[in-house]
Amino acid sequence: MSKQRRVVITGLGVVSPIGSDLGTFWKSLLEGRSGVKRLACFDPTHFTSKIAAEVKNFDPSPYLSAKEIKRTDRFVQFAVVAAKKAMVDAKVDMAKEDPARVGVIVGSGIGGLHTVETEHKQYLALGPEKGPSRISPFIIPMLIVNMATGQISIAMGLKGPNSTVATACATGNHAIGDSLRIIQRGDADMMLGGGSEAAITYMGFGGFCALKALSTAYNDCPEKACRPFDKNRDGFVMGEGAAVVVLEELEHALKRSARIYCELIGYGSSGDAYHMTAPDPQGDGGVRCMAAALKDGGIKPSDVDYINAHGTSTLYNDRIETLAIKKVFGTHAKKVAISSTKSVMGHLLGAAGGAEMIVTALTIQEGIIPPTINYETPDPECDLDYVPNIPRSAKVKVVVSNALGFGGHNATLVARKFE
C-alpha cells in the first residue's frame, strides 16, 4: 500500500464583513472589532431582526470584467475574488502548472438568491404577458449553486476535479475536506476549497427571521448581538462573504518553495438524522464527527491546543456543541482553548467553514488565539474556556475546526503546525 500523500495549506483568500485582505481580517479578529451593524442594503424596519454582518464597499471590478459582473450573482463574485486572492497569496503561477492537476470545490449554502429575487420582481412588475420575454437568459447560470466553482475554474483555467458542496453551514468544511481527500488519493496536486454566500436579501433575511433564528434583543447595539456561549445569547447574526484556501500536496509545495501555513491532517463528516434545523440533543453527530476527524489525523484529544467552534450564538447550538466537546475530549475539554470567531464576523453560512479555516491557519502561524467577544455572563451549561473577549498568545500546534449545518450536516477539520 502506498504512503498517503500529505496536504498543506499554502494560500488564503477572503472577502468578509471585517476585511477583505488578510491583514485587516486578522487584526479585526484580534481586536474584537465587530462587523455587525444595522442592516444597510435594505430598510429592516419591519423585520424582527434589524442587524447583519454585510460586506461593505465591495468592488469586483479589479478581478472581473464589466461583462462578467453583469452575468454573475453576488455570491459568485465573492467566490471568484476570494479564489484569485488565495492564488496570489500562494504565489501560484499557472503557466508552470498542469491545469488538469489543479481543481476546485467551492460551495454555497443558498446560492444566487439576489438573482432570483431581482428577476422575479421584474417579472411581477411586467405581468404574465410581458414578463416572460424579459427573463434574463443568464438567470439559471447566475443562480445555480455550482456556478461559484464553475466561474473560478473558467477564470483561472483550472481543469482538475471540479464540484460543489451545499451542506448549509457545514459547506466550507465539507468543501475543504473533500479537496483534502482528492489530493490524498492522487487525483490532483492542488485544490481550491471553501465557500461563498450572499443571501442577505428580503427573502433570505426574512426567512431566518421567520424561523426565529436571528438575534433580536440587540438591534440597538449590533456589535453586542453575536455572543456565543454567553447566557444572554438569543440567536445568530446573518453574514455574507467568501473564503477560499489553496490546498497542496506537500512535495509539490516544497518543490516550488511555497510558504506553508499549516498541514491539514484530519477530516470527519457525519449526519444527525434528527431534525431539519435543531442539532441532536445529545450531540451525537458532532461527537462522531470530531472523533472521526481526530482518528483520521492520528491525533489524541489531549494533543489539541485550540478548537475553533461552530459557536453560532444560538441557545441550542452552543449548549450542544459544548456537550459534544466534553464527550470527545473528556478531562481535556476543560483545558483546551475554544473560541467562536463568529462573534466578530457574524455567521457567513456556507462561507463560514472557509473563513474559519483561514482563522485556523493564521492562529497556528501567528501563535495567537482570537477571542470570543461579548462573553459577559457565563452559562452554567457552557462552562469551558471560550477565550473571552481578549486574544491569547499560545503555542498552537493542533487545531480542530467544527462546522454544523441545518439538515444535521456535520464536518470537522484538523490542522497541525507544519514541521
Give the helix, strand, coil percentages of the chain, each rounded to 5. 40, 20, 40
Residue among 114, 169, 226, 409 flagged as catalytic? 169
Torsion sign across C-alpha atoms 97, 102, 107, 113: positive
Determine the Cα–Cα distance for residues 263 and 417; give it in Å rounded to an integer. 6
Determine the Cα–Cα distance for residues 409 and 168; give it in Å rounded to an integer. 8
Closest to 44 (Cα-Cα) out of 206, 198, 204, 199: 206
The residue behind cell 456537550 is 323
Can 169 be counted among the known catalytic residues? yes
Residue among 174, 252, 310, 409 flagged as catalytic? 310
Contact 329, 301 (CB under 8 A): yes
Can 310 be counted among the known catalytic residues? yes
Can 347 be counted among the known catalytic residues? yes
Cα-flanking dihedrals φ and ψ of residue 96, to 5°?
Answer: -105, 5
262-271/409-416 β-pairing: antiparallel
Contact 265, 232 (CB under 8 A): no
Set of cell numbers at residue 62: 479589479
Contact 206, 43 (CB under 8 A): no
Cα-flanking dihedrals φ and ψ of residue 13, to 5°?
Answer: -140, 135
Residues labelled catalytic: 169, 310, 347
